[in-house]
Chains A and B, each alone.
Chain A
C-alpha cells in the first residue's frame, strides 16, 4: 500500500512517546558506573598498604608519587601518597600490580577544577577523611 511506510514510522514515534525516557538526569541521579569503571581517583586503603611502591613503578606516566619511612621494627611504612589525575591515563596498571589489593578506583568522576593543582590528590589525607566520615556516620547512627 502506498504510504504504508509513513504510517509505520508514525506508529513507531507514537509508541516511543509512551515509553519510559532513557535520559539520566545527571546531577540528581548519579549514573550507574559498573564494576570495571576506570576514571575516578585512586582510593587507598592505608592500613592494608605494604608500601612496596609497585604502583609507582608500574605507572607509565609517573602520576603516582609515594614516599616511605622505616618504623621501629625496620618495616616500611607509607609516608606520603599522591595521585596526580592530571597526568593519569587510567590504564589500571597500578591496581593490577598491587599485591595486597589496597587501591581501587573511586566512582567519583566529576572532580574538574580551575587549576592543575586541583587534580592532584593526597590519597592518605583522603583516606583519613573517609575514615573520619565513616566514624562520624556510625556515631550518628548510634546517637
Chain B
C-alpha cells in the first residue's frame, strides 16, 4: 500500500538524499528537514487561508442566490490576492493609550500556537511533522492557549467594547473547550493511545464517527464555538460589541487575526478528520471499488475529508442565526458538558461489556 501513494514522501526522501552529502552531518540534515517542514506548514496555512477566504465568500454567495466574488481573475479566484495586497498596504494605526507591548504581541501570540498545532497533523501515512506519543493532547493544549491573545487584545486596546468582546470570547472559548476535549476522550478510550497515527490506523475497519456519533456531534458544535464561527460568533456580534477584541487593529495585525481564524478552522477540521473520519484512510468499500479508492494517495483523502468538514462549518455559518450570550453559556454548560460526560460513561461501560462478551 505504501508504494502507490506518497509522492510527497518520495520528494522528502529525494530532498534528504540531496542534502546528505551537502551538509555531511545527519543532525544538520535533520535540522534542515525540519526547516523545510516548517516552510511547508507555513505554506499550507497561508495557501489555505487564501483559498478558504475565497471559498467562504463563494459558498456564502451561492447559498444566498448570488455569484459571490467574480470580478478579479477567473471566477473571482484572485479576489483574496487583491484583498491581501490591500491589507498589506494599509496604514498600521496604533491608537493612543494602548498597552503597547501587550497590544503588539496579541496577534503574534495568537498566530504562533496555531502554527505549532500543525506539527502533529497526520496528513498521510508517514507524512507528519512530529508523530508525538501525546499528539492529541499536544494539540488540545496548544489550541487552548488561543484564549489568552483574545484577552490580551481586548484588554490592551484600552477600549471598553474591545475589553467586553475579549472577555466574552474568552468565556465562550473556555466553556466550549471542555466539551470539546471530553468528546475526544471516548475515541482515546477506544484506541488506547493519544498518538495521531495510532488513532488513524485504528480506524482502518470502521470510522469512529459511526462508533461515537454523539461525540462527533459534540465535537462539531464545540469546534464551531471554539473557532468563533456562526452561530457562536459572539466575538464579532457587531451590533453589540463592535468587532470584539480586534476592533482597534488594522492592516497586517488585523490580518493576522484573520489568518489565525482560518488556520484554526482548518485545524479543527483536520482533527475531526483524524479522530472521527478515518484520517488518511480511504473510504472502506468492498471489492474492486475499494481497491480503486485505496489507490488514491492518503493526503488527498485527508484533504478531501478536511475540506468536507470546512464546508460543513461554512454551511452552518450561512444557515444559522447567532446565539444570545446567555443561551450560549447555558447550552455549553447544561447540555454539551453533561452529554460529553455521559458519552464517556457509556463508552467505558461499552468497552467493558465488549471485553466480557469476547471473554478477555
The chain A residues found within 8 Å of chain B, CB to CB, are 6, 9-10, 12-14, 16-23, 25
Contacts and interface: CB of A to CB of B under 8 A. Distances in A.
Contact of A13 (B66, B70, B315): B315
Given A14-B315, A17-B59, A9 B65 contact: no
B65 A13 contact: no
Given A9-B320, A23-B65, A23-B67, 11 more contacts: A9-B319, A10-B319, A12-B319, A13-B315, A13-B318, A14-B63, A16-B62, A16-B64, A21-B62, A21-B65, A25-B67
29 contacts: A6-B319, A6-B320, A9-B319, A9-B320, A10-B315, A10-B316, A10-B319, A12-B319, A13-B63, A13-B318, A13-B319, A14-B63, A16-B62, A16-B63, A16-B64, A16-B65, A17-B59, A17-B62, A17-B63, A19-B65, A21-B62, A21-B65, A21-B67, A22-B65, A22-B66, A23-B65, A23-B66, A23-B67, A25-B70
Interface in B285-319: 315-316, 318-319
Contacts of B320: 6, 9
Interface of B: 59, 61-67, 70, 315-316, 318-320
A25 B67 CA distance: 9
* Closest A-B pairs by Cβ, 5 of them: A23-B66, A13-B319, A17-B62, A13-B63, A22-B65
A6 B316 CA distance: 9
A17 B67 CA distance: 10
Nearest to B67: A21
Nearest to B65: A22
A89 to B, nearest CB: 32
A85 B67 CA distance: 34
Nearest to A3: B217
A21 B63 CA distance: 9
B321 to A, nearest CB: 9
A96 B279 CA distance: 73
A10 B220 CA distance: 15
B48 to A, nearest CB: 22
A33 B245 CA distance: 46
